[in-house]
């Protein structure tokens, strides 16, 4: 069996042993169900499928929660192993550093993907069963929500691996991971909004705004998820923004993939040059 596959299985086994998958799945499912039942309470009179309203609520929640979970999974993936001395032991076997990095990353990604798929999927089925109807068309945006959330988590996993490869101590990695999460999820958009209000459209055109949004994986996720469907954009209050943003779904998808590939490639480069 390939060393990479062995490492993937090890990371998944460790996550199951530490109850990571169970804890994250239950957390996502409970939050999805809570937001779904509370947010869809008035939908009966306006004939809106509960999943449509739930996608709007969960998209806003996922921007905060999924990246944080990804950072908690990955911030000590490399530096933690080095501190414990297990990385030197692992590399004494016939396995390359690239295989170690790939195996650990894919194992963590499988853990996060499984938890997201089960948590949101179970909640979506429960919502439609509770409302006594099954609308196949509503599962398009909801499926996109799950897929986009996994990609968002993967991008922050990659950032966490880059941080873990760069620093020398776990405490530093933890502080940087929280700082990066806070900046990309909260501060970036606050600063951008302030600049847009002050600029009043004089310097920052729609084209420039499109480029600026691509520099944040959380914004790419928000645009991919909330502006990809007309009814979702309307209920999310982003119909106006979707008119300004001229980025196609393919462009947004490629941008999200770049946010995974580039940090992971940099992490591999730093890790290969790092002395143990």
pLDDT, averaged per 10 consecutive residues of the chain (276 residues), comes to: 88 84 85 72 51 73 90 93 90 91 95 91 78 68 87 96 95 96 94 88 83 92 70 44 68 94 97 88
- Return the axis-axis angle of helices 3-17 and 97-130, rounded to nearest 10°: 50
Helix (H) or strand (E) holding 70: helix 50-74
Sign of CA dihedral 242, 148, 71, 176: negative
- CA 169 vs CA 81, 175, 242, 252: distances in Å: 11, 10, 43, 35
Q: Which domain holds residue 12?
A: 3-273
- In the chain, how many domains are there? 1
Three-state secondary-structure class, residue 274: coil
Tokens 């940090």 correspond to 263
pTM: 0.88
Structure confidence at residue 241 (pLDDT) = 52
- As given in the structure block, the two tokens for residue 156 are 């922050």
């Amino acid at each position: 069996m390939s060393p990479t596959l062995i490492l993937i299985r090890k990371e998944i086994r460790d996550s199951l042993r530490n109850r990571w998958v169970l804890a994250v799945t239950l957390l996502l499912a409970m939050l999805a169900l809570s937001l779904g039942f509370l947010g869809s309470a008035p939908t009966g009179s306006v004939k809106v499928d509960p999943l449509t309203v739930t996608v709007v609520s969960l998209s806003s929640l996922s921007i905060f929660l999924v990246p944080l979970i990804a950072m908690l999974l990955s911030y000590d993936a490399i530096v933690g192993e080095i501190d414990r001395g297990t990385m030197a032991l692992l590399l004494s076997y016939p396995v390359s550093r690239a295989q170690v990095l790939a195996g650990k990353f894919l194992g963590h990604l499988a853990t996060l993907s499984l938890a997201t798929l089960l948590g949101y999927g179970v909640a979506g089925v429960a919502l439609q069963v509770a409302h006594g109807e099954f609308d196949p068309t509503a599962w398009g945006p909801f499926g996109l929500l799950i897929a986009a959330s996994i990609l968002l988590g993967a991008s922050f996993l990659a950032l966490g691996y880059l941080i873990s490869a760069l620093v020398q101590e776990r405490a530093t990695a933890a502080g940087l991971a929280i700082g990066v999460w806070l900046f990309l999820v909260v501060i970036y958009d606050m600063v951008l909004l302030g600049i847009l209000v002050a600029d009043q459209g004089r310097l920052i055109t729609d084209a420039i705004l499109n480029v600026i949004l691509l520099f944040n994986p959380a914004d790419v996720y928000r645009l991919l998820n909330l502006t990809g469907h007309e009814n979702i954009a309307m209920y999310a209050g982003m119909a106006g923004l979707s008119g300004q943003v001229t980025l196609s779904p393919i462009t947004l998808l490629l941008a999200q993939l770049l946010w995974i590939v580039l940090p992971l490639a940099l992490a591999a480069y730093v890790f290969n040059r790092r002395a143990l």
